[in-house]
Amino acid sequence: MVKVGILGAAGYTGGELIRLLLNHPEVEIVFANSESNAGNLISDVHEGLLGETEQRFTAEMPFDQVDVVFFCFGHGKSEAFLKEHTIPENVKIIDLAQDFRIKGNHDYVYGLPEIHKEEIAKCQHLANPGCFATCIQLGLLPLAKAGLLTKDIAVNAITGSTGAGQKPGATTHFSWRNNNFSVYKLFTHQHLHEICQTLNELKPEGVPHVVDTLNEGFEAEGITVDFIPYRGDFARGIFCTTVVTLDHCPVESDIVALYKTFYEGAAFTHYSEKSPDLKQVVNTNKGIVHVEVFGKKVVVISMIDNLLKGAVGQAVQNMNIMFGLDERAGLNLKASAF
């Protein structure tokens, strides 16, 4: 049994992580830390756990009793936490925030199993990818690796309200969001950093640099990821379309074959022959991709559940890989479907 500690256990991702781990056959939750909820029943705070656990939140952090710690903090707090606390070297860390996703003066591996499975298996510290970032990358990985990204990339991705977190606000007020639609962080979403990092990592030599416009500006040489994020009026899921312009008109079946081959061994990412719809992935750890070709344009559809494959589902998948467990353990989830 893998012994798990959870920090930030009272938030959205903390709750979803507990929902997963309670049914994971190889995991024991040793502690679920939350200062503000210390002593409260987990099932009193997190929807959907009544009858599944009598465990309570704790203010303690007994790191010596666990094999792995999940950081379910808000962004920026993981790094701060590590400055003030020491976690034993033999305890693995899976950080769900964005603090260590960009390479730098740290040893965190970017945990996208579709491309980094071997590094993940060996790593001690893992940075779990962002939700939009996961969905957009799943749509682009095969083209990136094939060196076909030579022109600006148009990304449109719609997210559910859980992407905005637990704290209520104007744009998550039901009266406002219900039956509504809007955009935000137009062309400036912070997940562009990790997307560009991956695309540049994968691309063969000679293919244009992917410009991280947030750092380099729009005038820098290279191609850009023009990402429009939308607020959808649903709770779970990200639905993404990506339009890539190739240098020459491709044969559609070649592009389809590229995707099928790329995802052949993936545990959760599947190619759909038919144009898919979002609820096929809701409440699962799946990624679904589909492509169609029009002239030189390749249209890619990719979709995930933002809380699962886009957050804690992928984190558990990474944990499974890190501990040599079946990659699908605890993740055979029934899709909501309706």
In whole angstroms, the minimum distance from the beta carbon of 140 to a copy of itself comes to 16
In whole angstroms, the minimum distance from the beta carbon of 16 to a copy of itself comes to 7
In whole angstroms, the minimum distance from the beta carbon of 207 to a copy of itself comes to 20
Closest CA to 203 of 256, 240, 153, 271: 153
- The yes-or-no answer on residue 131 being catalytic is yes
* Residue whose CB is less far from a copy of itself, 195 or 301: 301
* Residue whose CB is less far from a copy of itself, 78 or 302: 302
Closest CA to 243 of 320, 296, 203: 296
Q: Active site residue: 72, 131, 135, 196, which one?
A: 131
Dihedral sign from CA coordinates of 159, 284, 78, 32: positive
Q: Which residues have C-beta within 8 Å of that of residue 140, sequence separation ≥ 6?
A: 149, 153, 195, 199, 242, 244, 300
* Residue whose CB is less far from a copy of itself, 7 or 278: 278
**Any bridge partners for residue 303, and if so which?**
239, 288
Supply the DSSP string of 25-72, one letter for each residue. TTEEEEEEE-STTTTSBHHHHSTT-TTT---B-BS---GGG-SEEEE-
* Residue whose CB is less far from a copy of itself, 147 or 222: 222
* Residue whose CB is less far from a copy of itself, 228 or 256: 228
In whole angstroms, the minimum distance from the beta carbon of 158 to a copy of itself comes to 6
Residue 9: CB atoms within 10 Å: 25
Rounded Cα–Cα distance for residues 159 and 166 (Å): 15
Under 8 Å between Cβ of 165 and 237: no
In whole angstroms, the minimum distance from the beta carbon of 32 to a copy of itself comes to 16
Under 8 Å between Cβ of 290 and 272: yes
**Catalytic residue positions?**
131
